[in-house]
């Protein structure tokens, strides 16, 4: 049985820390077979989705709060799969949140971990502007926070192409070249929100830096202010 520990890390950087730690722990598998990279990235995305529910949706902690995540896992070599031992998940939050509250929330979510880890994400979108060649750029939001960006090419009243997009929450991911069907009576924004929730199930899971880079490259197309990087501060 292997164990993942994030060490002490600010909440705004835990997703990337977990990704880097897992890839470091399992680097020998990746060296033997590159397909392991995709499998590990998908497993990390599942864990980060669950942790997002703990930290953001339930505890509503700040990005500067310090957290530590620990969980055991098994490597299923036959099926090239990472199997999280959800009942071993331990989460610590170093702020004025009673540990009993944290433990209670984690226990509730662990009881349905597989469902939460794969749950669709309810994104919202806001139009940022149009490019000189007719593409439309949207900010992707979770609640009041901007967490991503997407660029669309309108084709006609019923079709657009989602050229490229990136999000940094609940887990960093990128996606591109997706048909966006616009149903009768629906706006482009409504269709985009629906598509984004589905796309996250098949998106490419990447590092925080890569997602942020693409996100800001999209924003730059309409001279939108770039999103700042969350600087990681940690100690073991």
Q: Which sequence spans correspond to the domains of the chain?
A: 2-117, 124-220
| pLDDT tens, position by position, 13-42 | 899 999 999 999 999 999 989 899 999 999
**Rounded to the nearest 5°, which phi and psi values hold at 121?**
-100, 130
State the average pLDDT over residues 103-127.
78
pTM: 0.68
Residue 231's pLDDT band, with cuts at 50, 70 and 90, is low
2-117 placed in CATH 3.30.470.50: yes
């Amino acid at each position: 049985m292997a164990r993942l520990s994030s060490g002490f890390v600010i909440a705004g950087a835990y997703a990337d820390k977990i990704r880097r730690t897992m890839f470091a722990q399992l680097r020998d598998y990746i060296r033997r077979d590159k397909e392991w990279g995709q499998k590990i990235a998908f497993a990390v995305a599942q864990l980060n989705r669950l942790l997002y529910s703990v930290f953001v949706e339930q505890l509503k902690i700040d990005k500067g709060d310090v957290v530590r995540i620990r969980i055991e896992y098994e490597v299923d070599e036959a099926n090239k799969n990472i199997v999280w031992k959800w009942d071993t998940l331990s989460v610590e939050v170093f702020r004025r949140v009673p540990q009993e509250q944290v433990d209670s929330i984690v226990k509730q979510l662990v009881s349905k971990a597989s469902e939460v880890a794969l749950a669709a994400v309810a994104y919202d979108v806001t139009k940022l502007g149009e490019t000189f060649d007719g593409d439309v750029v949207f900010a992707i939001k979770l609640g009041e926070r901007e967490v991503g960006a997407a660029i669309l090419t309108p084709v006609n009243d019923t079709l657009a192409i989602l050229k490229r997009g990136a999000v940094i929450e609940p887990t960093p991911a990128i996606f591109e070249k997706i048909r966006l069907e616009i149903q009768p009576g629906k706006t482009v924004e409504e269709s985009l929100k629906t598509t984004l929730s589905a796309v996250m199930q098949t998106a490419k899971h990447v590092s925080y830096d890569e997602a942020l880079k693409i996100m800001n490259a999209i924003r730059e197309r309409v001279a939108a202010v770039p999103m700042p990087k969350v600087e990681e501060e940690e100690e073991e």
